[in-house]
């Protein structure tokens, strides 16, 4: 994405003519990057977490709260994956104007990213149920 945008900027300013498909391709690459990044960040525990409640409650409540957070995230990932499949099926036949790509390739980023998130949340949830995590890494 960075390369496409950089080349397009250079072509526009130096030659007054950019890539016709550059902006569209960068937008679609950004969508894919965000959807894949959601799963990668969750795996690395890189999402913002508000731990004020976990830090103030007794430690016996920390594990159930973390399990509830994982369960809610699992449900959200499942709903996102389902709605992404519906979106891809209904609007996937549209063709992007500049690149000529079927929009199903772009819309597929939603169920793919949500599916990867679902898998990782499920993995972390199972780890928590087995008790293989510490309080500091619960969220």
Tokens for 92, please give them: 């996937």
At residue 12, the pLDDT reads: 77
At residue 77, the pLDDT reads: 97
At residue 32, the pLDDT reads: 95
**What is the C-alpha separation between 106 and 95, in angstroms, rounded?**
10
Tokens for 15, please give them: 């030659």
pLDDT tens series, the chain, 139 aa: 778 777 777 877 778 777 777 788 888 999 999 999 999 999 998 888 777 777 788 888 888 888 888 999 999 999 999 999 999 999 988 999 888 889 999 999 999 999 999 999 999 999 888 877 654 455 5
Q: How far apart are the first and last CA of the chain?
A: 31
Tokens for 78, please give them: 């499942």
Torsion of CA 102, 106, 112, 114, to 10 degrees: -140
At residue 39, the pLDDT reads: 93
At residue 52, the pLDDT reads: 78
Tokens for 62, please give them: 């920390």
How many angstroms separate the Cα of 70 from the Cα of each of 24, 86, 119? 35, 24, 12
């Amino acid at each position: 994405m960075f390369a496409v945008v950089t080349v397009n900027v250079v072509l526009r300013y130096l030659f007054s003519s950019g890539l016709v498909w550059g902006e569209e391709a960068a937008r679609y690459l950004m969508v894919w990057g965000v959807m894949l990044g959601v799963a990668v960040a969750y795996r690395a525990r890189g999402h913002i977490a508000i731990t004020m409640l976990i830090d103030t409650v007794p430690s016996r409540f920390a594990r159930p709260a973390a399990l509830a957070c994982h369960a809610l995230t699992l449900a959200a990932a499942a709903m996102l994956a389902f709605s992404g499949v519906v979106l891809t099926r209904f609007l996937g036949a549209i063709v992007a104007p500049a690149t000529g790509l079927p929009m199903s390739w772009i819309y597929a980023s939603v169920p793919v990213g949500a599916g990867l998130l679902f898998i990782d949340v499920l993995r972390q949830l199972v780890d928590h149920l087995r008790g293989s995590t510490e309080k500091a890494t619960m969220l």
